[in-house]
Structure 1
Amino acid sequence: METFKKIKVTKGEKMLEIENPTSYPLIGMGAQGAVFQLSEEKCVKIYPDPLKAEMEKESLLAGKHLDFFPSVYESGENYIVMDYFNAPTLKEYLRNCTYIPESIARKLLEILKQLKEAKFTMIDAPLRHIFVLENEELKVIDHVNAFKRQHPVPLKLLRDLNIILLKESFLSYVESLEPEIYQEWDDYFHKNQLDYKEIPVGDASGKVKTDSAVAQPLIGKGHQGAVYRVSEGKCVKIYGKVDHAKLEQKVLVSGQELSFIPKVYETGKNYTLMEYLTGPDMNSYLKKQSSLSPETSQGILAILTAMKKRGFTLIDAPLRHIIITNKGFKVVDHVYSFTREQSRPLELFENLHERGFLDDFLNHVKVLNPQVYEEWTKEPIPLPEPVEEVG
């Protein structure tokens, strides 16, 4: 008989690593564990760290009387078998809404009140962790940090609603339905309000660490800094190291005439305030394409040739750093553009190879700019070895 206990989930360098010899499909993965569907009613969450399993088990047992908690059927040192919800998340459910339905607002408020009454310290839940069942019944998952993190107000929920422009609609219901709670939240935000210039971003072992209690929506995080949206058209990048701020600001400020450089509004010792770019990144876009258009190749090539002409020493544009906006392609993350020596876009080549579009891109370049094509292909392009399938 097939058993989920054969599945192994371990911590990788950047994400969880999974060895699954069973037919149970992976349906979700986060920082603490991976979730596999066992049946129409059940799933199992497997943790690389038994401590996380114990933390979530403690939370689920403490909230077993709450209607919005999943039921637990079985648990072990590194796993929990619980309810499986075949339903959209609240983020998906609200995708096309111009205002939040009052029924949803009431149920969210009730969930938050019950979490507080149950003595949880995490009075919060991001939209992706809330499922909408029939008759708008809400279920909340991922309770690992329910007794660890201190969120006396729903910071993540409000951040998510703000991103999809439903925060004000929700707060208007809170003010009307629960004026005391509204005042409590308002007092908290005024007391804990941070100037975005002072948002703490730590740097430890080459990885940026952010504070989950910051109210501004976190929209991106990399090795050098974290990016928060601060208004409809602006975002701020906070750097873990002052040196990184200086390096990127030099590139951005001196290149404001370049079409692919985001507009900069203000700079400081550890931050850069710039335009918020609306649109998908190129990697996400190409995942949904069956071919690479010549126009896309032409746009990427124009950026790379402009980089070289402008004096960039790092000639590269990883797909995740290219944002497709209504004003054309924009490129983010320029910390090392003037300091690292690289004449060929090697990370771009690798990204396109992974998507299956490298040959198409190079053929387009050969037609558009034969000289650049010769420079890029006179030596073999280093690409990762294909992974051999076992068994």
Structure 2
Amino acid sequence: MMEDFRLINVTKGPKTLLIDNPTNYPLIGMGAQGAVFKLSEERCVKIYSNTLQAQMELEALKAGQHLAFFPRLYEHGENYIVMEYFNAPTLKEYLRNCTYIPESITKKLLYVLGEMRNAQFTMVDAPLRHIFVLENEELKLIDHVNAFKRVHPVPLKLLRDLNMMLLKESFLSQVRKFERDTYETWQRYFAENKIDYRNIPVFSGGNGEGVKVDSAISQTLIGAGHQGAVFRIAEDQCVKIYGKPEHCEMERTILLANQDLSFIPKVYEIGENYVVMEYLSGPDLNTYLKKQITLPPTVTKLLLDILTSQKQAGFKQIDAPLRHVFVTNSGFKMVDHVYSFSRLQERPLELFHNLHERGFLDAFLEQVLLLDPATHAEWTKTPIPLTEEEVQMEIKDIPTVLPVIKNQKSIKVNKQKNAKGHENGRDHKNGKGHGKERDHKRDKGHGKERDHKKGHGSDKDHRQSGKKDNKDKKKGNDRKKGSDKK
């Protein structure tokens, strides 16, 4: 007898969807609106946390049933839709090892986009992770909640993802070859809507809330956290734009003062509300360790090196949360340093908590004991706190005394007044060996869920220090440790 999938309950949690699944139907996907469960080899069910979004997608699916690339619609209810299941790679996975996009794929994508326009959809776009490649390169598109809500006359998400994989230029050259009118329409759109990243509006979300970013901005958003939003602006660079100028001043000073530390991202340019820094290629350490059965000793050594360097450099907050550390070709790099000199924390409490969640805390401490007995003794002389309340008892807000910027000549930051009267500077180094922060360089896949072959951002991703970190609360109030986006 078939189980009743309607017993599955999906609700909105503070950070992600909460799922109560008393059935044996496996969870195969989860996004912002709902969770998808496999019912059979032909069918799956998407269960929504919001009935309005269920109705929005139902309307779009009905409107697209005549289109071959839409999933077949089988059944629906107030908060669920049963539709066709695709056991196939996404286009992001399909193109992962490509150095150029196949012309056959470009032709099919142009056909899909044209048919979506003809069907009067306003969202003529799809990220690579929402496109499946079946046999004979037949394409299928999923996730149509915003098909009639958002206006994307140009496939911004598609182009963003292709750009992450270094396939955008080959795609556009083929579009120009096959549909010159379409190509010129897109070019006019970009010319009319070009936005200087220095002028992208990012607003503070308030006490304990993430920053607010205009969703219409076409630049590649890697991630948004409590202090800022991070956009990828070049193959080897990203920019963090802050909601509050004081957060920008704190982090840029810390970054510039510690450019000689191996784990600090390279800075290229600064402004009153932004910092341009290197884009890290590689997974964050939390994602990396999810795939490990045991804790590699090299991970412990590199983390210990970061924590030791922080202490020697005068950092007041000694910590290295797994989601802030990236595994790159040039070693571990760490992002999010806003509070390094304004919070007193002598032990890496969030790192301990992260490793405990992964089941690696005991192994980490054993390896630290072998590498640095004195540090191990210091960390373990009192019990390691693992609850939120215990952690907060040990962290103290202190007056912020920022470090003195060293090696200004080697950094070569030229301060200039721009048209708005803000100061910005450029690092005139060419940045060889950089260009590596969350999904990038020649990563064949990026997007919100992050490709961890070579990735930065992020997945749901990504984003350089755009990931949520410690909440910015007034002294004396309870703080909550930072958490991942996505």
Give TM-score, length-normalised by structure 2. 0.78
Provide the C-alpha distance between the structure 1 equivalents of 2:133 and 2:329, rounded to a whole number of angstroms: 33
Provide the C-alpha distance between the structure 1 equivalents of 2:329 and 2:46, rounded to a whole number of angstroms: 41
Deviation of residue 89 (structure 1)?
0.4
SS state at 1:230 partner: strand
Structure 2 counterparts to residues 361-372 of structure 1, below 5 A:
361-372=364-375
Provide the C-alpha distance between the structure 2 equivalents of 1:60 and 1:384, rounded to a whole number of angstroms: 45
Deviation of residue 238 (structure 1)?
1.1
Divergent runs of 4+, >4 A: none
Whether 1:171 aligns to 2:172 is: yes
Provide the C-alpha distance between the structure 2 equivalents of 1:199 and 1:380, rounded to a whole number of angstroms: 45
String of CA shifts for 1:209-230, please: whole Å, max 9, x gaps.
3333322222232222121111
Whether 1:191 aligns to 2:192 is: yes
Whether 1:273 aligns to 2:261 is: no
Worse-superposed segment, 354-363 or 215-224: 215-224
Whether 1:332 aligns to 2:335 is: yes
Deviation of residue 384 (structure 1)?
4.5
Provide the C-alpha distance between the structure 2 equivalents of 1:185 and 1:60, rounded to a whole number of angstroms: 26
Equivalenced residues, count: 385
SS state at 1:52 partner: helix
Which of 283, 289, 292 aligns to 2:292? It is: 289
Residue 138 of structure 2 corresponds to 137
Residue 56 of structure 1 corresponds to 57
Worse-superposed segment, 218-227 or 297-306: 218-227
Which of 300, 318, 323 aligns to 1:320? It is: 323
Residue 385 of structure 2 corresponds to 382
Worse-superposed segment, 4-13 or 199-208: 199-208
Which of 346, 349, 360 aligns to 1:346? It is: 349
String of CA shifts for 1:34-91, please: whole Å, max 9, x gaps.
0001111111000011000011011111111111111111111100110011110000
Worse-superposed segment, 74-83 or 277-286: 277-286
Provide the C-alpha distance between the structure 1 equivalents of 2:305 and 2:27, rounded to a whole number of angstroms: 40
Residue 232 of structure 1 corresponds to 235
Structure 2 counterparts to residues 65-80 of structure 1, below 5 A:
65-80=66-81
Structure 2 runs not aligned, ≥5 long: 389-486
Residue 151 of structure 1 corresponds to 152
Residue 388 of structure 1 corresponds to none
Provide the C-alpha distance between the structure 1 equivalents of 2:224 and 2:95, rounded to a whole number of angstroms: 25
Deviation of residue 358 (structure 1)?
0.9
Deviation of residue 296 (structure 1)?
1.7
Deviation of residue 374 (structure 1)?
1.2
Residue 22 of structure 2 corresponds to 21
Structure 2 counterparts to residues 104-119 of structure 1, below 5 A:
104-119=105-120
Which of 295, 299, 302 aligns to 1:299? It is: 302
Residue 462 of structure 2 corresponds to none
Structure 1 runs not aligned, ≥5 long: 386-391
String of CA shifts for 1:218-258, please: whole Å, max 9, x gaps.
22322221211111111111112222111111211111111
- Confirm or deny: 8 A CA contact 2:89 2:133 kept in the other structure: yes
Amino acid of the residue matched to residue 340 of structure 1? R
Worse-superposed segment, 25-34 or 284-293: 284-293
- Confirm or deny: 8 A CA contact 1:238 1:272 kept in the other structure: yes
Amino acid of the residue matched to residue 375 of structure 1? E
Residue 226 of structure 2 corresponds to 223
Which of 355, 358, 361 aligns to 2:358? It is: 355
Structure with greater proportional helix content: 1
Provide the C-alpha distance between the structure 2 equivalents of 1:61 and 1:204, rounded to a whole number of angstroms: 37
Provide the C-alpha distance between the structure 2 equivalents of 1:332 and 1:7, rounded to a whole number of angstroms: 38
Whether 1:125 aligns to 2:126 is: yes
Residue 446 of structure 2 corresponds to none
Residue 214 of structure 1 corresponds to 217
Amino acid of the residue matched to residue 211 of structure 1? D
Deviation of residue 208 (structure 1)?
2.1
- Confirm or deny: 8 A CA contact 1:72 1:82 kept in the other structure: yes
Provide the C-alpha distance between the structure 1 equivalents of 2:146 and 2:132, rounded to a whole number of angstroms: 18
Provide the C-alpha distance between the structure 1 equivalents of 2:211 and 2:33, rounded to a whole number of angstroms: 18
Residue 255 of structure 1 corresponds to 258
String of CA shifts for 1:131-159, please: whole Å, max 9, x gaps.
00111110000000011111110000000
Provide the C-alpha distance between the structure 2 equivalents of 1:22 and 1:323, rounded to a whole number of angstroms: 37
Provide the C-alpha distance between the structure 2 equivalents of 1:313 and 1:305, rounded to a whole number of angstroms: 12
Higher RCO, Cα 8 Å, sep 6+: 2
Deviation of residue 10 (structure 1)?
0.2
Which of 372, 376, 386 aligns to 1:373? It is: 376
Amino acid of the residue matched to residue 377 of structure 1? T
- Confirm or deny: 8 A CA contact 1:155 1:213 kept in the other structure: no
